[in-house]
Amino acid sequence: MLAVISDKNLFLYSFSKWITTLVVAMTVLACKKQFTPPVLISDNSRYLVIEGVINAGNDSTIIKLSRTKKIDTLRTVFPEANAQVSVESDGSNTFVLREITTGTYAAAPLGLDNSHKYRLRIKTSDNKEYVSDFIPVKNAPPIDSVGFAAKTIGLEIYVNTHDANNATKYYRWEYREDWQFHSAYVSTYYSDGLNALSARLVSQQVYYCFGSVQSSNILIASTTKLNSDVIYHSLITVVPPTSEKLETRYSILVKQYALTSDAYSFWDNMQKNTEKLGSIFDVLPSESQTNYHCVSNPNELVIGYLSVGNPSYQRIFISADQLLSGYSPVYPTVCEIDTAFQNPPHSGTLPIADLIPASSPYVPVLGLYLKPPNINGSPTAYTYSTILCADCTVRGTTTMPAFWK
């Protein structure tokens, strides 16, 4: 198993939110006029989707492969397993990527020579071969700052950056959000799933958890029409004032890429397709592009665009006391609490035994000592709620991230 060396590697280069639209958009690769996507008529193709960048420096290279498949009127995405994936240089060096999870391939930091160009080569399990063009290394300048503004509409996150050499011009960003949250109720008991309920140890608490999410929207900017290569207050995301991300403490890690002009055109076109037209069945812009090719079948469409370089990163933390007093996080589900008895006093009351099975949708919250007491000194009744309301691990993890401070 290849190790991912830092919290920078928390990012997986992903277009999951808009991959369906991307499939249709790339169908216009070979033409220069607008058209009605063939998916409206008949389309049983399984396009290869390639996500990821070649990291030239001290971070891991992660490539994700998947296939689209049309089922009735919908497209779904399936991981492409058991492929052979490698990075090749124009100097005849080869670096092999290993499959670390189904459809995801990775290599430890490659430390590439920036004077060379690089490409990705893929051979799938059905013996089809795909390659990208050779791409020059383009490193991102440092991020000057990631800032925020607490406004009534929500928490705005923005980025500032520049290139003193006026050489970058084209930028793209991804981000990962992390936050601490808690369940609606504190569960002080747990079920062993077989025989009994027991008091939780501190190490078994399921009240405080950490959540995370990776960005899926397209964030790009260009300074070609400006006098200097400066990006100021480029909006990254807005967190609603009711989001539980802001409940206790929030962190965002912004990742910045430098793009070539062709790569920027690709992302700009995808942004228009996915965020402005509103439907995959609308007429699409007249031109799109990719730098991947199917060697086995030159007419086969491939979805994705390869870039090579070192991204730059910056993380910030924001605590609840830095926000507006009017912010009021809302728990994402309606929660109620009830009581389970050893011997239900009337029909419809939940017996304690129903809290014990591993398949139970309920979690015990507090133990109650009613009369007559149990001989073994255990509670005679328990308050309980649903798993979503009393166990935060359903939506997160109790393990504190290594970067949390």
pLDDT at 77: 78
Q: Is the pLDDT of residue 74 over 70?
A: no
Q: How confident is the model over 217-238, as a mean pLDDT?
A: 96
Closest among 395, 243, 393, 388 to 330, alpha carbons compared:
243
Alpha carbons within 13 angstroms on the beta-carbon side of residue 129 total 5
Q: How confident is the model over 276-300, as a mean pLDDT?
A: 65
Q: Is the pLDDT of residue 191 over 90?
A: yes
Q: Is the pLDDT of residue 281 over 50?
A: no
Q: Which percentage of the chain shows pLDDT scores above 90? A: 71
- How far apart, in Å, do the first and last CA atoms of the chain sit? 28
The mean of the pLDDT values for the chain is 85
Q: Is the pLDDT of residue 10 over 50?
A: no
**Residue 249 structure tokens:** 């403490």
For residues 26 and 305, is the Cβ–Cβ distance under 8 A? Answer: no
Q: What is the DSSP letter of 274?
A: H
- 71 versus 209: the higher-pLDDT residue is 209
Q: Where are the alpha helices (DSSP H) in 308-395?
A: 387-390
**Residue 372 structure tokens:** 């007559």
3-class DSSP string for 200-266: CCHHHCCCEEEEEEECCCCEEEECCCCCCCEEEEEEEEEECCCCHHHCCEEEEEEEEEECCHHHHHH
Q: Is the pLDDT of residue 24 over 60?
A: no
- 208 versus 286: the higher-pLDDT residue is 208
pLDDT in tens, 28-69: 333 333 333 333 334 456 789 899 999 998 899 999 999 876
- 299 versus 141: the higher-pLDDT residue is 141
Q: How far is CA 393 from CA 77, 203, 308, 387, 390, in A?
A: 27, 13, 37, 9, 9
